[in-house]
Amino acid sequence: MAVVAQAQPVEAARGTFAALRNPDYRLYFAGLLISQSGTWMQNIAQGYLVYSLTGSEAWLGLVALAMGLPLLLVSPLAGVMVERARRRVLQFTQSAQMLLAITLTILAATGTVAVWHVVLLAFILGVISAFDAPARMTLIAEIVTREDLSSGITLGSILNSSTRVLGPTAAGLVLARFGVVWCFALNAVSFLAVIACLALMRVPYAIPAPKTQPKPLRQLREGFAYVRGDRAVMSILLLASVTGFFLLPILQMLPAVAEVTTGSHSDGYALLSAAEGLGALVAGLTTSYLAMRFSRGRLIAAATLMNAALMTVLGFQNGAVPAALLTMLTGFALIMLMVNMNTGLQLMLPNAFRSRAMSLYMLTLMGLSPFGALALGTLAELVGIAPALAVFGLIAGVLGGWIVLQRHPGQLDAARTAA
């Protein structure tokens, strides 16, 4: 393993917002800002709809499982396919997601929506997302210079964090005044922005496809072999697995958490979602500064343990203010962890393996999350949401602490930039 204990000098020199000088990146940022805000609006409305139809934490977990199962099954092969045409894949996946949003809008508007409709649409969305996520993350390397790559990745995380505020906030307002149908409809319209922006891009740093295309299964085996041979990459993937299974499911359980801590699964859910998004936004804006000051490895270690501690105590709060405060800190810690894992991993990876390795990252982070959500929801049905969160938080703390101790924080830093 190549172990580098110093922060990347280029990152410090360029700054967080350097990538915005690139016209293609500005299009990328603007389009996804609108589209992902709509997606978060739909996520909030969908969680509200499912909980209203069933009143069950287990169903929340089942819907998450339906979306995540394809990520687990398809992601490795998706990484191979994405390497061949990132922008075209992204244009297709965004268009397909718009069609799914239109379908959900029609079902909700006609009053025929049932929970099995939501599960089926979530499964189809999961298949699409298996291709969309690695394409979205790795396209950045084709629209900015190598020197601006860290800035592009960090701004992408800020974008994600911003939409976690904008989407839930808008969803809360629209839900209260107009209902779930308009949340789904506005999400469908939001995809037009990113589709238009993708069409206008020039992609000046496109990574050329090899003259001879290896067989997909061979590329898949090569990707696994590369990951197994790089201990720094493996360390991040192990932490991503713990994050995906034990920590991220808290987002799917927020309607139940809101009902227990605030007494309302509708207004309380909107409040906690907005609080989580605000914390995520603060993390996105400060991560570059903190990484330069403390190193990514130390931030990854601290954020892992912070997430575990917050999850352990969140469900036992009684009142909207303490619940919102701890949820905001949870949003901060989650994004701090995921931004630094994502940025660190991408700075390690050579272009030849970027899409394949990032698809494995998505598999461990997002592919395991639905299984964790289902397990958490099932446990919550048996013992209550607060004890269930505490169990998951304690397990995440033990496993995350073990990985950090096995790999000194300095070994998780990603200062090397392979070509």
* pLDDT score at 8: 39
Q: 217 vs 151, which has greater pLDDT?
A: 151
Share of the chain above pLDDT 70, in %: 82
Most confident of 121-130, 215-224, 275-284: 121-130
Closest CA to 130 of 415, 399, 366: 366
Q: Residue 418: which pLDDT band, with cuts at 50, 70 and 90? A: very low
Alpha helices (H) in 253-368, listed in sequence order: 254-262, 267-294, 296-314, 320-348, 354-362
- Is the sign of the CA dihedral 260, 266, 268, 269 positive or negative? positive
CB neighbourhood size of 19 (10 A): 27
DSSP calls for 223-238: HHHHHHH-HHHHHHHH
Taking all residues of the chain, what is their mean pLDDT, rounded to a whole number?
A: 81
CA 100 to chain centre: 20
Q: Which of 102-111, 350-359, 363-372 has the lowest mean pLDDT?
A: 350-359
The DSSP symbol for 407 reads S
State the Cα–Cα distance between residues 199 and 192, nearest whole angstrom. Answer: 11
Helix (H) or strand (E) segment spanning residue 210: none
From residue 20, give the alpha-carbon distance in Å to each of 24, 36, 78, 86, 153.
9, 18, 28, 20, 11
Answer yes or no: are the C-beta atoms of 200 and 143 closer than 8 Å: no
Helix (H, G, I), strand (E, B) or coil at 357: helix
pTM higher than the cut 0.75: no
Block residue for tokens 């303490």: 322
Please give the average per-residue pLDDT across 148-166, as a whole number: 77
* pLDDT score at 48: 82
Please give the average per-residue pLDDT across 27-54, as a whole number: 88
State the Cα–Cα distance between residues 337 and 409, nearest whole angstrom. Answer: 13
* pLDDT score at 5: 33
Q: What is the pLDDT of residues 256-315, one digit of tens each?
A: 888 888 877 667 877 887 788 788 878 877 887 888 788 888 899 899 999 999 999 998
Q: How far is it between the farthest Cα atoms of the chain?
A: 62
Answer yes or no: are the C-beta atoms of 368 and 312 closer than 8 Å: no
With 60 as the cut, is the pLDDT of residue 119 above it? yes
State the Cα–Cα distance between residues 246 and 248, nearest whole angstrom. Answer: 6
Q: 316 vs 344, which has greater pLDDT?
A: 316
DSSP calls for 15-83: -TTGGGGSHHHHHHHHHHHHHHHHHHHHHHHHHHHHHHHH--HHHHHHHHHHHHHHHHHHHHHHHHHHT
Block residue for tokens 């969305």: 125
The torsion of the CA quartet 318, 320, 321, 326, rounded to 10 degrees, works out to 70
Within 8 A by CB and 6+ apart from 286, the residues are none
Q: Residue 118: which pLDDT band, with cuts at 50, 70 and 90? A: very high
* pLDDT score at 73: 75
Answer yes or no: are the C-beta atoms of 49 and 109 closer than 8 Å: no
Q: Which of 14-18, 115-119, 234-238 has the lowest mean pLDDT?
A: 14-18
